[in-house]
Amino acid sequence: MHDPVMNSHSLPRLLGLAMAVVVAATVAASPATAATPLPTPGMPVATQVTQTSITITWAAVAGPVKDYTIQVIDGPLVPWYDLAHSTTTSFTHSGLTPDKVYEYRVIANAQANSGYTTSSPSGYNVVTTAPLPDSIPPTKPATPFAYSVSTVAATINTNGSTDNNRVAGYWVQRQVNGVWTDWATNSVGTVYLNNLTPSTTYTVVVVAFDPNGNRSVRSDPVTFTTRAIQPTPTCRNSIITYGTQFTVTVTVENMTASTVLQNWTVTFTLPTADVLGGAFNATVTRAGDQATATPAFYVATINPGGAATFGFSATAPAGSPPPSRFALNGTIPCVTA
């Protein structure tokens, strides 16, 4: 009896089998697992604000958290950047400027070799540091005016108020039981009033305030009346001509009580010789001298009390008639403004 002789053909085969066993063993020893992102931390909340510091806290994250990265935006056009790391769920940002805006968000970082990765950023919170002491109120605002008045809403605009520091915003007030009462506010001189009653007259004033809460005297009043309920939506069109070019503007209004206007169109006659230019808030298609404007998706639905405007430009040869016969949904004639 003797040992078998390994020939030149069997050696490579045995080596290949041995390597396959090693590779298989290696793969089996390292199971493939995809890293899982940690849950997103809760949005930071400001728990203490002074002239030079802000303390924020946030909800803890379940899982193998190493620490949290606090990110901040502290100026116009400044991107998010890492401010600090914390192993707890609170952080105090100090050395700040009084009456300045800071934005914060938090990211959870995973422990090494835990099978987890960094979380998505939390929601962000905007915090303003406390202002320096000040007792001087803003000056009296200009008389406001009302526009974009519908059946249920109106916009109030004012300006002209100044302050030794800055005007932080405006309150629109109305009388309730004979007392001027805060109604709506904004940080700029444009304030939006909603949930109004159709065919109702309102008288309002405006008060300016600064970061310390000092208030100006009231402006002179403005009076406006909301629009009446209409049985159907309506539209109006206007054409401005300059040389061989013209611009068309169409406004569709929904002053009904409860009808939601959806996927509306406006049809009109447009001479075939006219050359379309650009359009806004709608797409204009043509079939001979008939044209159809289909609204952009963001104005395709008009709720009661709402409105949408679209338009386009075109060039017409000499003697070509202007566009005409504008109609909402092909059945409601538009009024020429």
When pLDDT is averaged across residues 138-156 and rounded to a whole number, the result is: 97
Q: Would you place residue 33 in the very low, low, confident or very high pLDDT band (cuts 50, 70, 90)?
A: low
Phi, psi of 327 (to 5 degrees): -150, 135
Q: What is the pLDDT of residues 250-266, one digit of tens each?
A: 999 999 999 999 999 99
Count CA atoms within 13 Å of residue 275 on its CB side: 5
Query: Which domains are seen in the chain, by residue range?
Result: 37-128 (2.60.40.10), 145-225 (2.60.40.10), 234-336 (2.60.40.290)
DSSP designation for 215: B
Closest CA to 298 of 312, 287, 306, 308: 308
Whether 8 shows a pLDDT value over 90: the answer reads: no
Element (H, E) at 299: none
| pLDDT, position 35 | 87
Distance CA 317, CA 185 (A): 51
Q: Would you place residue 271 in the very low, low, confident or very high pLDDT band (cuts 50, 70, 90)?
A: very high
Element (H, E) at 179: strand 179-186
Strand 266-269: give its sheet, edge to edge. 282-287, 290-295, 266-269, 324-328, 332-333
Asked if residues 119 and 37 have their Cβ atoms less than 8 Å apart, the reply is yes
| Mean per-residue pLDDT of the chain | 91
Q: Could you tell me which residues are beta bridge partners of residue 236? A: 251, 335
| pLDDT, position 337 | 87
Q: What is the pLDDT of residues 91-143, one digit of tens each?
A: 999 999 999 999 999 999 999 999 999 999 999 999 999 999 999 999 999 99
| pLDDT, position 160 | 87
Q: Which two tokens stand for residue 97?
A: 């400027």
Whether 82 shows a pLDDT value over 90: the answer reads: yes
User: Taking the model in full, what pTM does it have?
Assistant: 0.78
Phi-psi region of 319 (alpha: psi -120 to 50; beta: other; left: phi over 0): left
Q: For residue 197, with 0-12 CB atoms within 10 Å meaning exposed, 13-18 middle and 19 or more buried, which class applies? A: exposed
Segment among 11-15, 272-276, 293-297 with least mean pLDDT: 11-15
Closest CA to 144 of 162, 170, 163, 166: 170
